[in-house]
Structure 1
């Protein structure tokens, strides 16, 4: 398959993402080409479909992509918010196999996206924290402390912050059984039971019911 034909297949709106995931996992040459297009191609239908492919493949087989850590980490500072989302997601996937503890170097840069210039990127950041605390339990306390400071850390409109809290609740649920001071999470969740965001209010009530609080 030539580079141009590969790009056109990937760019097709009806591309079979799952088929490409299998190809990328099993063919190193195709894998490298898809990563290259993800990092360098300016066509959204190309780099975003490459993102879908690499995101799923790196969740299934993160070891195959660990050597590209620096390439994906470089996306965290990209001017395009879609690329920042890509970096946040794939780095989170790779923390599962982070034997060199590269995330410790990246941590401060990573958490800056809690207050990204784009609200949707902040949502992407919070959603990916579930993977990070699952793969790196040493960060649970720090992540919980960070998320509980949402009011002071984030400069979004109040209705956006209230919506963001729905994602925060999901991360706190992941952390709840593993944290020493569960009461600080409980207090935060209770305070969201009357949120102006219907989604956040629902998540809070589900959390309280789940944990019999």
Structure 2
């Protein structure tokens, strides 16, 4: 049976690249999916998997999501109420937090307790590292801990662009980190929820592997 994957358009995010990456991952792994960019609650209620990309500022992405009639309620119903697998990408991951502190305090969806706070990275010499953290960086994680990381190896690199980081209240919700002046949450997960701080759609074969893993994931 064809999986219906809904990619929400909150008014920001590289939607065309996300769409192409999912289609490529599905084709390469012979997974039967229909991937669709959506802005309506009705489409979400029909989805078998839900993806929320986002880039830019936390507050702007939250406003964009709130501007879609009924979408936040539909997300709560499908993701929290019915356990539909959910993937947040970049700011879409950050919106899973309790709150974000970019341009003032903005409430998140509150699905994984934590705060999205400004980064303050320092190098070995104690001097500030450039922000945003931009470019390829390694992942650190325990192999076999989560299906989204199947066939991915510690030390594999993915592509980051961000100046704010997810600070989880429960360290167990952080399943992979990267190092940028200290550990930074790279992947968070709880139940049927997963979030990737990096741009998985720009992360080459490793990113495609994770997207295929998400399409196969049965939480």
Give TM-score scaled by structure 1 length.
Answer: 0.29
By percentage of residues, which structure has more helix? 1
By percentage of residues, which structure has more strand? 2
Give the number of the structure with larger relative contact order, counting CA–CA contacts within 8 Å between residues 6 or more apart: 2
Give TM-score scaled by structure 2 length.
Answer: 0.29
Of structures 1 and 2, the larger Rg is shown by: 1
